[in-house]
Amino acid sequence: MSAYHFNWFLAWQNFPRFYWGLALGLELAALCLFIGSLVGFAGALGRTHGPAWLRVGITSYVEFIRNVPLLLLVYFAFYGLPKIGVTALNNVWSFVAALSVYSGAYLTEVFRAGVNSVPVGYVEAGKAIGLTPWQRVRLVTLPVTFRIILPSLSNTFISLFKDTSLASALAVPELTYAAEWLNVNTFRTIEAWTFAAVMYLLAGYGIALALRRIERRYAVIR
């Protein structure tokens, strides 16, 4: 057993791989946050205003997804969907599909809490000045909800960003995959994983800091 010899040069040399991996992870997280928010807002409206069958359906979706491992969904999207006729998705898009469905369930809960905490008086005021139901959603409920749930959204974004590491299981070239690649191809094990871990930490806390500023900017004044 010889001691481990560090060689950071190879890791530096492959920095672009890590850098683009990080960028891809952030892109995937942002895309899934966006799609998940659409699902979440629709789900929240359906769950608060929809008919009984819709409420039951949305509740089952949320509970089911939240109690099943993400990796199972990711595998299902990649290996399962083609078997039932959905062959249009490659590894990146099937991961996006899985993570969007996953984040949609969590965001339904987030948006529901947000929609419920919009003061009734706002919606009534909207009715009073003659807004149609759709206008009330678009001009009153949505903007206020958005400002209320902004902190939850940024937390969700950061945890989605961390969840993009699972895309490496489908050989999507994001940050974890970059570390795996370096590990397998150069045996610079510790350098590779230190690099990846530090980049996840820096990116995560950097984003958290930036988002806190945005939250302060848009915070609901109560």
Partner 1 sequence: MTGIWHQIALALPQLLRGLRASLEISAIVLVAGSVGGFVVGLLLLYGGLILRLAARAYVDTVRGIPVLVLIFVCYFGLPALGLKLSAWEAGVTALSAFAAAHIAEIVRGGIDSIPRAQTDAAKAVGLNFWQRLRLVILPQATRRMLPPWVNAAVEIVKGSALLSLLGIVELLLSMQNVVGYTFIVLPFYLLTACFYFAVNFTISRTAALLERRFAYLKY
| Chain residues that interact with partner 1, rule: CB under 8 A | 1, 3-4, 63-64, 66-72, 75-76, 79-80, 83-84, 162-166, 168-169, 176, 179-180, 183, 189-190, 192-193, 196-197, 200-201, 204-205
Position 72, amino acid: L
Of 100 and 163, nearer to partner 1 (C-beta) is 163
**Minimum CB separation from partner 1 for residue 78, in Å?**
11
Q: At a CB cut-off of 8 Å and minimum separation 6, what does 18 contact?
A: 175, 178, 179, 195, 196, 199
Separation between Cα atoms, residue 200 and residue 194, nearest integer Å: 10
Please give the radius of gyration of the chain, using alpha carbons only, rounded to the nearest integer. Answer: 21
**Minimum CB separation from partner 1 for residue 68, in Å?**
5
CB 62 within 8 A of CB 44: no
CB 146 within 8 A of CB 118: no
Separation between Cα atoms, residue 97 and residue 45, nearest integer Å: 22
Q: Rounded to a whole number, what is the distance in angstroms from the first to the last CA of the chain? A: 63
Of 50 and 80, nearer to partner 1 (C-beta) is 80
Position 4, amino acid: Y
**Minimum CB separation from partner 1 for residue 21, in Å?**
12
**Minimum CB separation from partner 1 for residue 42, in Å?**
23
**Minimum CB separation from partner 1 for residue 127, in Å?**
34
Of 63 and 124, nearer to partner 1 (C-beta) is 63
Of 149 and 175, nearer to partner 1 (C-beta) is 175
Of 145 and 176, nearer to partner 1 (C-beta) is 176
